[in-house]
Amino acid sequence: MKVGIIVDDVDQSFLVSNLISNSKDSHLYTIDSLIVNKNSRSDKKSGITKLITLLRKSPLRLFSKVTFRLITILEEFLLIKFLRIGELLKKVGLDEIDLPKVSVFPARSKSGFVMRYSDEDLELISSLGLDMLVRACGAIIRGGILEVCRYGVISFHHGNNDLFRGGPPAFWEVLKRSSTTGFIIQGLGDELDGGDVYFKGDMPTHPFFLANKLRLYK
């Protein structure tokens, strides 16, 4: 099978680059292309503009984001120092990986949570002759992209959606002191969480949120 990965940036986590390097040992599939989402000019906003907009519309949400970021920074410091898992936090430049890269310009919803691809982008992706796409981008993808490949798009859902819905991944299990943290590998459909579930699993929950998330991603 020929597989492509949809990413938002060429700078990705160590875990995404590890997925690509591990694919070289597989006799079942190859990763042949990176589909890189780019922002259209109309979507581009500076960080200051986004901050001002969020402050005007939802100061409570802004406070929540800042607080959560501080928690993450503290945990990163502790984990790097005591658990020595700093490698998993590194960003890796996929420009250094010898893979064809295709830039596309999906339209984003006002919330920024949903993306749809133009007919031009879909034709470009279709021309790559891929059997399947793997979603490694942040937004929900809808529309023709779900059918452009023979086996559609698969996604990793980091959590047990029977118990916890919504992000951040691996956070609610720690907060609620759940004994396990789940994950799902699913085929995507136009309906949220309505695709085919191919695999479900779980692991023991780690008491640190960031460690729990990194273990789940790995």
Q: What tens digit of pLDDT does each residue of 178-204 get?
A: 999 999 999 998 776 667 899 999 999
CATH number at 22 reads 3.40.50.170
Provide the pLDDT for residue 45: 52
**Number of independent structural domains in the chain:** 1
Q: Which are the contacts of 44, defined by CB distance < 8 A and separation ≥ 6? A: none
Is 164 among the domain residues?
yes
Is 173 among the domain residues?
yes
Is 63 among the domain residues?
no
Instruction: Give the type of residue at 184.
Output: I
Structural domain boundaries enclosing 209: 2-44+91-217
Residues 209, 181: contact at Cβ < 8 Å?
Answer: no
Is 21 among the domain residues?
yes
Higher pLDDT, 42 or 48: 48
Is 85 among the domain residues?
no
d(CA 65, CA 73): 12
d(CA 72, CA 88): 14
Paired tokens of 215: 């273990």
Residues 79, 88: contact at Cβ < 8 Å?
Answer: no
Q: Which are the contacts of 88, defined by CB distance < 8 A and separation ≥ 6? A: 13, 14, 15, 214, 217, 218
Provide the pLDDT for residue 41: 44
Q: Choose among 115, 111, 119, 110: nearest CA to 141.
A: 115
Is 81 among the domain residues?
no
Higher pLDDT, 179 or 62: 179
Is 22 among the domain residues?
yes
What mean pLDDT comes out for the span 27-52? 72
Higher pLDDT, 214 or 87: 214
42 pLDDT more than 70: no
